Structures are given as C-alpha cells and as structure tokens.
Amino acid sequence: MRRIAVLLLWLCLCLASVPAFAGGFSLRYTSIPGWDGTPLGAVVISPKDQGAGPFPLIVMPSSWGLPSLEYVGRGTVLASQGYVVVSYTSRGFWESGGRIDVAGAATVEDVSAVIDWALVNTPARADAIGASGISYGAGTSLLAAARDPRIKAVAAMSGWADLEASLYPNTTPNKQAVGLLVGAGLFTGRPGPELARATERVLWNDYQGAVQVTLPIVGTRGAIHELNALNANGTAVLLANAYNDGIFPPNQLIRLFNGLTGPKQLMFAQGDHATIELPGALGLPNEVYTAAGRWFDFHLKRVANGVGSEPAVRLRSQKNALRSFANWSAVQASPTVYGLTRPSGLLAPTGSLASGNSTGWSYGILTGVPTIADSGVVLLSGLMQGLGLQTTVSVPLIARGAAGVWTGPSYSGARNLSGSPSLRMTIAPSQSNVTVFAYLYSMDGLGIGELVSHKAYTLRNAVPYMPRTIEFDLEATSWDIPAGRRLALVIDTTDPRYSDLSSLGSLSFGSPSAAPSRLSVPLR
C-alpha cells in the first residue's frame, strides 16, 4: 500500500508539473539496483528536444523520511535546462528496499551505483556529474563525493558535516531533534540495527543513552571526517543552511567549509531545517536553488556566469540584508569583546557587558530550575524567525534565582552582528554534572529580547564546587540591531529542546584574573 500511495502521489505531481515545462523534459519512474542489488525507487528526468546529448548528470538522494518525488519539481527545472536528473528514495525508506543505516556505507555506495546505472541507461555525461540533496540527502551527497571522484560538484542544503556536533552539541543531547528523526524513521522506513538501538532508548525517554549508542559510528558518518578525500578530489562544494536549523545547526558546517581547499561557497539565512530551500525543491523560484543551478552550470557545464569570482560567504540577516565576505575569517575579524561584571540589584540582579575585564567576583544561582528563557521548538521557532516572527522573552521577568543576566550598552546607531559569538565563563557547580545554556538577545527599551543565538554546554565529571573555566561558540547568525537596542546575555541550566544533566543544586559564576569572563561578538 505504501508503494501504491507513493506512485499515486508521484503521478499527481507529474501531471501538475508538465504544463510549466512541456516539451523540455521526459519523466519516468523506475527501480534502480543499489550497490548490492537492493531496489531503489527513482524518478528519472531527462532533457527532451534539446539534442542527443550527452548531458550533465545530477543525482539527488532523498531526505530522511521522504520519497523520490521530493525533488521532482526542481528536477523538471534542471532537465529543462539540459541536465539528466535522478531523484531516488534513500535505502530503507518508503518503496526502496533495505534498512535505514544512518548514512552508512551502503547508503553512500548507493549514490555511486545510481551513477553507474545512469551512465548506461540515460544520456548522461561521465565527465560532468553532480550530487545534491536536502538534509539526509545533503550529508549523503557530501560523503559520496569524498568516495567517488566522478562527482565534480555538490550542492548540500540543510545538511550535516558532523553528526556528533549536530545532535550532541558540547555533549548535550538535542532531544527534540533526536526524537523527531527517530519518529520519522519509524513512520516512513525500516530502521537498521543502529537506529533500532537508538529508538529503543528514545522510547524509554533516555536521550543520553540514545546518543551514546550512536557515538561509535559517527566518526564515519560525516564529511568533516572525509576532508582529505574531498580536497584530493577537488570537489566543488556549495553549502546552504539556516542559522536556526534545529537539527543540523550552522557551526558544524563552518568547520567543514573552513577545511575545504577546492571551490566552495557558504550561504546562511534565517529559517529552520529545510525551510529555506523547500520551495525550490518544489520547482518554485528560490534563492538557494538558483545559486545551486548556477553552481552546477559553472562547474559541470563550464558556463562563464561569474560564480568563480563571487564572494565565498553570503549571510542574509533577519531583515533580509545580504552581506558577503571573502572567507569565514573575514566574518569573524575584529570582534567586540565585552567583560562580564558581577550582577547586582535588589529585585532583578543584572550584570553588565562592559568594555573592559571585570575580575575577582562571584555570583550564584540555583540549577535545575526552569526559567522563561529557552531556545524555542525545533522546526517551528526557526521557521517563525524566517517569517519575521521572532522568539522573544521579557528579560526583566527572567527569574534571577535560576539565571545569570548581563546587558550591554544601548547602541546609538544601527549595528549588525554577523558571525559566531563566543563565551568564556568560569563556573563552579555543586554537582559533578551540570548543563548550562547561553542565550544572546537583542533587547529593546522595554526589556523585550529577540533571540539572536544560543548554545548548550554540559560539564561532566567535575569536582563539586571546584571552579572550571569553559569556552564555547554560540551558533552563527546575521542579525540587524536597530539603534536604541542593546545585547543581553542570559545563562541558565534547563531548556526544553535538550536533555540536560542539571539537578537541583547551585552554580556559581566567577571571573578570575587568569581567565576573565567575557563575551566576544562580531559586531559591525
């Protein structure tokens, strides 16, 4: 029944798409043998009335939980522009055979098997092959490009380079993301042994355990571990993501981008997982997919469209302003550094983000007690931010007994924060394990803060009451700050998005002279 439903949906989409590109492409559904013969449901879209070819080939593995028709809309656009496109359902999902192996060797080898099939059964060129996908398809495409030098260019959207950094940031399980992925896998596919073990832990509400059982495999399941191969192949890599991606956040992709030595571009904008590029996948006008099309035109067709001379980094703010940079070092250059002072005041003790270091102080809060500051809901909050509806909090109403709060100076003119803020803080918890959450807000005169960025950090196996200095980056963003607003930093110990290790106890903040507590912000 599932296969029949997929085919009916595919047929409806095809009939709806044909009028827009009539005469420009031909389309058929087929089954392609994977690397071990496992059948993979696929839609093959080829140029029509555009000569005999051969044509550049783009292979598009499906996202986690989605079938082969995911890219049919974009595939018809590409085929009408002279590309052979094969959009297929990843192993273990929907009508494809096999089991979900979490981007294991079989899933990655399937990309090469699809290329082999396409070179025999379509008018595809062997010397002009690209791979592209969203989410699971993005990560799979990157891994396949590292292992198959025939893939000359990749456009990876809302993907991952490092699974551990994505789902286990600073050893803190992202339980909403893990739960969402596990649920989608159960509903749309057939989990393999690794996913089944993680699923069992999730069903018992053990997200720490769910992550732990997958840690042994993550070293082979992300392109960050395949950098040498990607660089040796000279693969041209386009990465596009949302700042607020609740599953694969941006910082882990920045590490990959910085390590690439071949042609590369990085695009970030406001939104959540797969929300920015989704209209483009359906074939609608879309900035990300327009860039991907130009990327393939330049690197596969050798069209002189200027891609090779464009800035490598493009950041779009929540106000839709676009800022371009030559590289990520230019993004992070000359940050503004604020020293954290001791919070003071009777009703709502608040510290300052000061121009110089402030040392020798301490300030305590309770741990394991929720506050109204949090990172929002995976998929929903980021999507709302992309639509201009910000995640907000009343900073004056944040319970100071359970959070440290620091505010900066009011800006006399408009400012922009583009890049990744970083925090250094000395903490002394009363327990051996504790999780802290840092939130950075743009706050107006009434104390209403818009969430700019956040990050989790879990301290494990600490000596109780012994000060420990921790340093970590908040997620990258581009945020326009109007005149009259100020930055606000909030640190507490619980967040609904994550599985924390904070129990009821206490936590002391400090700022020793050897390592003053400070916030570094790439402001312009």
Q: What pLDDT does residue 218 have?
A: 85
Bridge pairing between strands 505-510 and 362-367: antiparallel
Which residues, at least 6 apart from 172, have a Cβ–Cβ distance to it below 8 Å?
435, 456, 457, 458, 498, 499, 500
Q: What pLDDT does residue 3 have?
A: 47
256 shares a domain with 125: yes
447-486 burial, b if ≥16 CB within 10 A, otherwise e?
bbbbbbbbbbbbbeebeeeebeebebbbbbbbbbbeeebb
Phi, psi of 132 (to 5 degrees): -155, 150
What is the enclosing helix (H) or strand (E) of 232? helix 227-233
CATH, residue 208: 3.40.50.1820
338 shares a domain with 305: no
Alpha carbon 444 to chain centroid distance? Answer: 29
182 shares a domain with 231: yes
For residues 205 and 499, is the Cβ–Cβ distance under 8 A?
Answer: no
Q: Is residue 202 part of a domain?
A: yes
Q: What pLDDT does residue 388 have?
A: 87
Which residues, at least 6 apart from 73, have a Cβ–Cβ distance to it below 8 Å?
13, 17, 281, 282, 283, 284
Q: Is residue 316 part of a domain?
A: no
Q: Is residue 469 part of a domain?
A: yes
Name the DSSP class of 226. G
404 shares a domain with 305: no
Range of the domain at 457: 332-521
Residue that is last in its domain, among 310, 341, 360: 310
pLDDT in tens, the chain (524 residues): 344 444 445 444 444 444 344 449 999 999 999 999 999 999 999 999 999 899 999 999 999 999 999 999 999 999 999 999 999 999 999 999 999 999 999 999 999 999 999 999 999 999 999 999 999 999 999 999 999 999 999 999 999 999 999 999 999 999 999 999 999 999 999 999 999 999 999 999 999 999 989 888 888 899 999 999 999 999 999 999 999 999 999 999 999 999 999 999 999 999 999 999 999 999 999 999 999 999 999 999 999 999 999 999 999 999 999 999 999 999 999 999 999 999 999 889 999 999 999 999 999 999 999 999 999 999 888 888 888 889 999 999 999 999 999 999 999 999 999 999 999 999 999 999 999 999 999 999 999 999 999 999 999 999 999 999 999 999 999 999 999 999 999 999 999 999 999 999 999 999 999 999 999 999 99
Q: Is residue 319 part of a domain?
A: no
Tally of structural domains, the chain: 2
Joined tokens for residue 487: 């930055």
How far apart CA 219 and CA 228 sit, in angstroms, is 14
For residues 245 and 160, is the Cβ–Cβ distance under 8 A?
Answer: no
381 shares a domain with 301: no
Residue that is last in its domain, among 249, 276, 310: 310
190 shares a domain with 140: yes
CATH, residue 342: 2.60.120.260
Q: Is residue 325 part of a domain?
A: no
Q: Is residue 320 part of a domain?
A: no
Q: What pLDDT does residue 23 have?
A: 47
**Residue 285 DSSP SS3:** coil
294 shares a domain with 364: no
Classify burial at 91, counting beta carbons within 10 Å of its beta carbon; exposed 0-12, middle 13-18, buried 19 or more. Answer: buried
338 shares a domain with 301: no
Q: What is the radius of gyration, based on Cα positions, of the chain?
A: 24
Q: What pLDDT does residue 423 have?
A: 98
379 shares a domain with 266: no
401 shares a domain with 504: yes
375 shares a domain with 263: no
Q: Is residue 326 part of a domain?
A: no
pLDDT cut 90: percent of the chain above it: 91
229-259 burial, b if ≥16 CB within 10 A, otherwise e?
bbeebebbbbbbbbbbbbbbbbbbbbebbee
107 shares a domain with 239: yes
Q: What pLDDT does residue 478 have?
A: 98
How far apart CA 362 and CA 426 sit, in angstroms, is 9
Residue type, 3: R
Bridge pairing between strands 124-134 and 55-61: parallel
Q: Is residue 315 part of a domain?
A: no
